[in-house]
């Protein structure tokens, strides 16, 4: 009794030299009906660790039967992954237009008459039917959006996103695997999932509003948030069954297969709690889980153009006034200023990530920190 | 009786090596009081022709007295101008964050209580006083925005924009000089200026809504549009004296000092009609002026990765079904498809600009056209 | 009686996302035995016009029987062609190592004992046999070089070059199609072919020494030059039948299918004179053919960081003291220097190409000119 | 009794926006005459750690008197340091021409008649006089080279190099501070200094031939090697007093001020052994020093385009057959190949550095290793 693993390619784009780049879709079906989890990695082209975790997950799935279904998209943005300049990957945004690949998803249910119609006609339906039927509606809406999107040609901005949204439509749980620049491991969690997110044992979590900000997590949960509020206006209390998280797996540009085995445990534990995996994995002793609101997630911008020494590591707590980074600017020798200067904490916090190079122009995103965090 | 020309630098950012980049502000004051025109060039770093026009304007201003004031910012975004990769300029967006430099301006008057207060207290004032006082308020609001902006360091995204907005606050007319990739000359004109824009004799114009879209033109006219609608709610009809245009001066990456002399005539003619320059310049015989709404400004995306021959030039009219571009894809030899394919017009229109290279990945912005144009 | 056209792919490299890039080899065989011409385009990834010419050549070859064989490699360096940064192509050098793609060919016959052995054993052979047998030796030497090259993995630096050298080994004539940045049309011609090059009717030609400088033309003709000098030492006068040219087809980043038809006439005329095409094409009235030695091909480096107006066009003659370019540097306002400055000709000459952008850092290759030219 | 520290700037280049970039020269003179050591950092723009060491050295020199002189050039290539694309530094080569910044130095003493003349006229001089006079000759030769170099404008390729060579001419010891991509600490040592290099206590060292390869170390020691061989031909045995090393201080893109304190000890120890610093620093317990010839320094090229896990760290020894890296290629799913593959050692060795990203196109420099090493 094993899983059925099937795979297919979806042609996505064509290089100037004529070769095609494709999405690689892996579908794992268990022998029993059950929930559907959708997992993708590296929509930002430099954020590789999710693929290592997917590799570990595939190893696991070869021998461990699941209940329900898992759809897996490794290397979900081949164009971004292949945008190498020098030895690094220029994968955060479309190199033609500058648009952040994770800010190009579509919001097609906001103020949608179709959603209102749907809610009206399902006021009395049970939740299971609503789920099933609503997913069908979402698929229709996406396909209609896609038809419009390609009317004047296959606009790169949004095409990969629409395709990924389409693939995720049928799912109950979405995990979008990312990394930071130099970063610790953390989650983006919508407000309505703050409690449920406890099953994903990553140490830090940013609580984001139930609003559309163009990212994959929002693009997949907002149709359900919108349905909920439409039902509410019609007098029905609707519990959102759907979950979507952005999972940040450390630093960009690197994979580590050993850490991936560890990351996998957290993912498997989540899948176990959602009924897709029977056996609970043996987790390491739990660390504290710390949260803050997105509005308390602060960016320190480089005060000077300089070489920066990072005084503390991502994942570390600090106090107001602590030295977070030390800059060296030899031009200061010619300005009667000391070569060295310090960037100090404006408030207590936790360092989540820092700029991936020590060479920083003034005004760049030097550090990102959680302030006003709580557990 | 000549103009007083003064200049100053505003330090803007610091390179990793420690050197500073600055804005170069040139202020030209006539001997008589009068209106104030603000002109900037190359906020997008590859769009150089505006600087050639500014050079010609400075030549003119050395010998021709003006009425009022002209503030001039050549090379208004030095960081973008210096972002050379290979021999070209990667100047459209912040290379760290991907944000389009002309989509980072601030909207600080929308739903602003200060603006409502201002309107209430100036319900009976005459328009001249309103203008004078409102500019003071705008300056205050920008400075308060700026203080907030740099709280955690001088965030590059927005710092140059806020500084330019601040410099333009005191002006009556704003000209933001840009270029397209490979392009004809054209204007972006807000709806409320559709008639008045006739004094800027460029052949093509896109009529944009009176709404905020984060660009310089909108950032400078929206405070006046918002004031107008606030007054309207309070029962006063307010005529907006302020004007702001984005002027597209042909193709990127190139300056041409002879064409700049010609471009200057159009600018001088505008300044003449606004009372800043006494003598009317001798214009070339007027060509037709064609307009379309922004919603009828369409982008054709490359249907294939290929080498493209551009069949018609920017500024040319075409009919539905005309061949706009011809692609060559040798990979087709291995797919039983012809090497050559054509991109045909979906509707009548005018080609405004095309991609600056023949080597195009699928989905890139191949062509931009005006449809449903009118004169 | 038509040509036999066959095609095949040679896998060359693999992208980080796993997709493969391949060489596309097109072999056109006439019904009669005859000479073999090898043509490749865009080893530098931004130099596209050669592909347009190849497209026109393929059209021609569908209907016009040849004598002998033509091997055609459009888009001969897919990795370089696909290295798009922003909208331009960063195709001149390996973005990982910086090595110029046209300086990575191999010299495997210099001081080669195999060549000496070959010459000794063919001292009495007739030229036709020598050609035939020598090509076999070259192939062996390349394959042995290739085996060595990939011992520690398929080193990108040189792999495409060795593969192209291998494909060209069997040929009698090699045309390597390039372009300049903003350029006129011109040839690189080895000294020993100065007279024979007249059959390629391009207007300008640089006469390069019979030496190895790592480019494709040299890589293919040097084995014959080395054979000749080895024979000479052994007392035999050997006439080199082999020819190899670098053909520069105007400016980079653009194809023009109409100009390609014109370029094709020159190529067809050459093929006609070499016996591969029977009918002589009707050429436009011949323009003057001007030459200079490579040592008289001079580069003017930008004296200042500035925006440059190019006063004359590639292909134009100029006199000592003429203004070649005009720079604008607004920083000069703060240095008591005039904003405008001029780059004047140090000697009479012809402008061959200039930097492709007006925005130039000091010290970049601003202009390239032929001095001491002759006809 | 303290050192005299003076500083000056040498303007080097000008940005397109008109601002200048300069060399920052720091000269530290002790109270007593003595040897002269020249130290520079980050000629490759992403190699920052040398600047952190220089910062530590300047701290030291404020309080510790030296004998002789130290000339220090932090950030010796500002153009390269500022070439940021995205968040990383594209600093290895000139982004216009592709030329490696550390392969652009000049060899002006090879077969130089001036050197022969010098040797003849100093056949009987004592070594101290020879040194003093030869440095004068070198300076003259460089200045004459520089005059020639800028005849057609300040060619960026070589200008910074010539300027650095000029500054180093007067020195007895040269330390050129670099880093690898992801690397351990190691030295490049010319054959004739193999023994003397023991005073620089870095653990690994590559022994390079006494030949010119266009790098700074070679550019500074070859004039002495050439002098030695000229003397030899004239019958005099000349001991080369001059020393020059390339010092590789770990990985690129990062500075660490704590590791810099440790690196400084090694530099101070060297300066102590050369008589510039009186007191010997307290070194950590010495590790083994391992060497290999440059010809035994091998590069493994990525066999596939893939994501790579690096199985061992720079500085580690490995045995033939050990797994050095593990690749993941999901495209393999569609080729009946396993997703995972391994790169195994072809011979025993030590890993010196690896590619700085896990995302690697086929044929890139994946690993560099010392084989046939000895102590």
Of B97, B299, B306, the CB nearest to A152: B299
Put simply, the answer to whether C255 touches B333 (Cβ < 8 Å) is no
Of B22, B81, B85, the CB nearest to D16: B81
Neighbours of chain B (3+ CB pairs under 8 A): A, C, D
Q: Which residues of B are less than 8 Å from C331 in CB distance?
A: 24
Tokens of A256: 């580590």
From the list B97, B8, B88, the residue with the least C-alpha distance to B48 is B88
d(CA C352, CA C317): 9
Nearest to A16 among C84, C86, C96 (CB): C84
Nearest CB to A153; choose among B100, B150, B300: B300
The CA distance from D171 to D167, in Å, is 8
**Any residues with CB less than 8 A from the CB of C352 and at least 6 apart, and which?**
C180, C183, C184, C186, C204, C297, C314, C315, C368, C369, C370
Single out the residue of D240, D245, D234 nearest to residue D206, CA to CA: D245
Identify the residue whose tokens are 């216009």.
Answer: D96
Q: Is B255 helix (H, G, I), strand (E, B) or coil?
A: coil
Percent of chain D with pLDDT over 90: 96
Q: Do B359 and C46 touch (CB under 8 A)?
A: yes
Max CA pair span of chain D = 76
Residues of B in contact with D18 (CB under 8 A): 75
d(CA B166, CA B142): 6
Q: Which of A23-37, B127-141, D271-285 comes out lowest in average pLDDT? A: D271-285
- Give yes or no on whether D4-287 and D295-370 have one common fold: no
Asked whether residue A80 carries a pLDDT value surpassing 70, the answer given is yes
Q: Which residues of A touch D92 (CB under 8 A)?
A: 86
Closest partner residue to D361 (CB to CB) among C15, C301, C332 is: C15
Q: D78 and B20 in contact by Cβ < 8 A? A: no
Whether residue D286 has pLDDT greater than 80: no
Q: Which two tokens stand for residue A324?
A: 């977070």
Q: Does residue D1 register a pLDDT over 70?
A: no
- Reduced to 3 states (helix: H, G, I; strand: E, B; else coil), residue C348 is coil
* Beta-bridge partners for A146: none
For residue C192, how many C-alpha atoms fall within 13 Å in the half-sphere facing its CB?
18
Residues of chain C found within 8 Å of residue D301, distances taken between Cβ atoms: 150, 152-156
Instruction: Please tell me the distance in Å from D2's CA to the nearest CA on chain B.
Output: 28
Contact between residue B107 and residue B141 where contact means Cβ atoms under 8 Å apart? no
Of all residues in chain C, the one with the smallest CA distance to B26 is C333
| HSE-CB for B158 with a 13 A CA cutoff | 17
Residues in chain D within 8 Å Cβ distance of C13: 305, 361-363
Tens digit of pLDDT per residue, chain C (375 long)? 689 999 999 999 999 999 999 999 999 999 999 999 999 999 999 999 999 999 999 999 999 999 999 999 999 999 999 999 899 999 999 999 999 999 999 999 998 999 999 999 999 999 999 999 999 999 999 999 999 999 999 999 999 999 999 999 999 999 999 999 999 999 999 999 999 999 999 999 999 999 999 999 999 999 999 999 999 999 999 999 999 999 999 999 999 999 999 999 999 999 999 999 999 999 887 778 899 999 999 999 999 999 999 999 999 999 999 999 999 999 999 998 999 999 999 999 999 999 999 999 999 999 999 999 999
Asked if B95 lies within 8 A of D84 by C-beta distance, the reply is yes
Average pLDDT of D130-139?
Answer: 97
Whether A293 contacts A351, CB under 8 Å: no
Average pLDDT for chain A = 96
Tell me how far apart the alpha carbons of residues B58 and B64 are, in angstroms, rounded to a whole number: 10
Q: Which residue, B108, B161, B111, B112, is CA-closest to B139?
A: B108
Helix A127-149 and helix A156-168, axial crossing angle in degrees, nearest 10: 160
Helix (H) or strand (E) holding C91: none
pLDDT bracket for residue A11 (50, 70, 90): very high
Q: Which of C7, C14, C16 to mutate to test binding with chain A, by most A CBs within 10 Å of its CB?
A: C16
Number of inter-chain CB pairs under 8 A, A vs D: 120
Q: How far apart (Å, rounded) are the C-alpha atoms in residues A68 and A54? A: 18
Token pair in block for residue C245? 């040219």
Q: How far apart are the C-alpha atoms of C308 and C315, rounded to whole Å?
A: 18
Instruction: Find, among D186, D199, D314, the residue nearest to D248 by Cα.
Output: D186
Contact B84/D95, CB-based, under 8 Å?
yes
What are the tens digits of pLDDT across the range B289-343?
A: 999 999 999 999 999 999 999 999 999 999 999 999 999 999 999 998 999 999 9
* Secondary structure (DSSP) of D218-269: HHHHHHHHHHHHHHHHTT-------EEEEEEEEETT---HHHHHHHHHHHHH
pLDDT tens string B21-67: 999 999 999 999 999 999 999 999 999 999 999 999 999 999 999 99
Under DSSP, the state recorded for D44 is S
pLDDT digits (tens, 9 = 90+) for B68-127: 999 999 999 999 999 998 999 999 999 999 999 999 999 999 989 999 999 999 999 999
Which pLDDT score is estimated for B287? Answer: 74
Instruction: Give me the residue label for tokens 């393999």.
Output: D332
Q: Does C86 sit within 8 Å of B88, measured CB to CB?
A: yes
The residue among A96, A352, A362 with the most chain B CBs within 10 A of its CB, best to mutate, is: A362
No. of helices (H) and no. of strands (E), chain B: 7, 20
Which of C343, C155, C10 shows the shortest CA–CA distance to D154? C343
Residue C284 is predicted with a pLDDT of 80
Specify the residue for token string 């977070």: A324
Q: Which two tokens stand for residue B262?
A: 């010609």
Cα–Cα distance, D249 to D251 (Å, whole number): 7
Euclidean distance between CA atoms D171 and A257, whole angstroms: 49
pLDDT bracket for residue D175 (50, 70, 90): very high
Which of B289 and D40 is assigned the larger pLDDT?
Answer: D40
Q: How far apart are CA D45 and CA D187, in angstroms?
A: 19
Q: Are strands C323-328 and C340-344 parallel, antiparallel or unpaired?
A: antiparallel
Instruction: Output the CA–CA distances (angstroms, integers) from residue B28 to B60, B76, B132, in the order listed.
Output: 12, 17, 20
> B215 to each of A123, A226, A271, B102, how far by Cα in Å?
44, 31, 45, 5
Full DSSP string of C159-197: HHHHHHHHHHTT-SEEEEEEEESEE-EEEEEEGGGTTGG
- Tell me the backbone φ, ψ of residue A373, rounded to 5 degrees: -80, 160
pLDDT of residue B284: 80
Q: D287 pLDDT exceeds 90?
A: no
End-to-end, the C-alpha distance of chain D in Å comes to: 42
Contacts of C354 in chain D (CB under 8 A): none
**Contacts C331 to D, Cβ<8 Å:** 14, 17-19
**CB pair distance less than 8 Å for C304 and D14:** yes
**Is-contact B242 B172, C-beta < 8 A?**
yes
Task: Tell whether the model's pLDDT for residue D285 goes beyond 90.
Answer: no
> Taking the domains of chain A in order of start, what are their residue ranges?
4-287, 296-370
CATH class of C295-370: mainly beta
Statement: B4-287 belongs to CATH 3.40.50.1820: no
SS3 per residue for chain A: CCCEEEEEEEEEEECCCCCEEEEEEEEEECCEEEEEEEEEECCCCCCCHHHHHHHHHHHHHHHCCCEEEEEEECCCCHHHHCCEECCEECCCECCCCCCEHHHCCCCCCCCCHHHHHHHHHCCCCCHHHHHHHHHHHHHHHHHHHHHHHCCCCCCHHHHHHHHHHHHHCCCCEEEEEEEECEECEEEEEEHHHCCHHHHCCCCEEEEECCCCCCCHHHHHHHHHHHHHHHHHHCCCCCCCCCEEEEEEEEECCCCCHHHHHHHHHHHHHHHHHCCCCCCCCCCCCCCCCEEEEHHHEEEEECCCCEEEEECCCCCCEECCCCEEEEEECHHHHHCCCCCEEEEECCCCEEEEEECCCCEECCCCEEEEEECCCEC
Nearest to C16 among A18, A82, A90 (CB): A82
Q: Which CATH architecture has domain A296-370?
A: Beta Barrel (2.40)
DSSP state of B196: G
Contact A69, A29 (CB under 8 A): yes
DSSP-derived 3-state class of residue C22: strand
Chain-chain contact of A305 with B361 (C-beta, under 8 angstroms): no
Question: d(Cα D248, Cα D48) in Å, to the nearest integer?
Answer: 11
Token digits of residue A49: 């660790």
Average of per-residue pLDDT values in chain C: 96
Distance from the Cα of residue C374 to its chain's centroid = 22
CB–CB contacts below 8 A, A to B: 150
| pLDDT (average), residues D229-249 | 97
Contacts of B19 in chain D (CB under 8 A): 19-22, 78, 82
CB A350 within 8 A of CB A186: no
Angle between helices A127-149 and A113-121 in degrees, nearest 10: 160
A110-133 pLDDT per residue, tens? 989 999 999 999 999 999 999 999
Q: Which pLDDT belongs to residue D153?
A: 97
CA separation, residue B68 to residues B37, B65, D301 (Å): 8, 10, 67
Q: What's the gap in Å between the CA of D220 and the closest CA on chain A?
A: 25
* Whole-number average pLDDT of chain D: 96
Smallest CA–CA distance, residue D367 to chain C, in Å, is: 10
Chains sharing 3 or more CB pairs under 8 A with chain C = A, B, D
Q: Rounded to an integer, what is the distance from CA D39 to the centroid of its chain? A: 10
Q: How far is C21 from chain D (nearest CA, A)?
A: 10
- Distance of alpha carbon D224 from alpha carbon D215, whole angstroms: 15
**C359:B48 CB<8 A:** yes
Q: Is C80 exposed, middle or buried (0-12, 13-18, 19+ CB in 10 A)?
A: buried
Tell me which chain D residue has its CA closest to the CA of residue A362.
Answer: D82
| 3-state class percentages of chain B: helix first, strand second, coil last, to nearest 5 | 30, 30, 40
Tell me if A201 sits within 8 A of A269, measured CB to CB: yes
Question: Residue C181: its chain B contacts at CB < 8 A?
Answer: 87
């Amino acid at each position: 009794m094993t899983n059925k693993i099937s795979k297919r390619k979806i042609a996505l784009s064509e290089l100037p030299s004529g070769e095609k780049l494709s999405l690689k879709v892996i579908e794992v079906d268990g022998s029993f009906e059950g929930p559907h989890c959708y997992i993708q990695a590296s929509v930002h082209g430099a954020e590789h660790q999710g693929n290592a975790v997917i590799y570990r997950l595939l190893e696991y799935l070869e021998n461990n039967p699941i209940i329900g279904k898992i759809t897996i998209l490794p290397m979900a943005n081949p164009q971004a992954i292949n945008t190498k300049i020098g030895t690094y990957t220029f994968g955060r945004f479309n190199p033609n237009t500058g648009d952040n690949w994770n800010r190009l998803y579509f919001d097609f249910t906001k103020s949608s008459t179709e959603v209102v119609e749907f809610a009206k006609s399902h006021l009395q339906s049970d939740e299971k039917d609503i789920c099933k039927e609503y997913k069908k509606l979402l698929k229709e809406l996406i396909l209609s959006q896609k038809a419009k999107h390609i009317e004047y040609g296959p606009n790169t901005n949004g095409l990969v996103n629409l395709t990924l949204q389409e693939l995720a439509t049928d799912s109950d749980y979405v995990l979008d695997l990312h990394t930071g620049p130099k970063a610790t491991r953390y989650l983006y969690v919508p407000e309505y999932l703050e409690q449920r997110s406890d099953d994903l044992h990553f140490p830090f979590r940013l609580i984001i509003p139930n609003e559309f900000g163009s990212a994959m997590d929002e693009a997949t949960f907002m149709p359900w948030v919108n349905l909920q509020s439409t039902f509410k206006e019609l007098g029905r209390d609707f519990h959102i069954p759907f979950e979507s998280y952005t999972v940040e797996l450390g630093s960009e540009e690197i994979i580590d297969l050993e850490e991936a085995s560890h990351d996998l445990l957290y993912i498997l534990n989540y899948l176990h709690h959602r009924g897709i995996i029977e056996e609970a994995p043996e987790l390491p002793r739990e660390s504290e889980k710390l949260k803050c609101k997105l509005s308390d997630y602060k960016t320190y911008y480089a005060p000077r153009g300089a070489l920066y020494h990072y005084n503390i590591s991502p994942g570390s707590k600090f106090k107001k006034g602590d030295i977070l980074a030390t800059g060296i600017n030899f031009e200061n020798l010619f300005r009667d200023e000391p070569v060295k200067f310090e960037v100090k904490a404006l408030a207590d916090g936790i360092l989540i990530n820092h700029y991936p190079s020590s060479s920083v122009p003034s005004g760049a995103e030097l550090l990102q920190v959680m302030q006003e965090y709580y557990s």
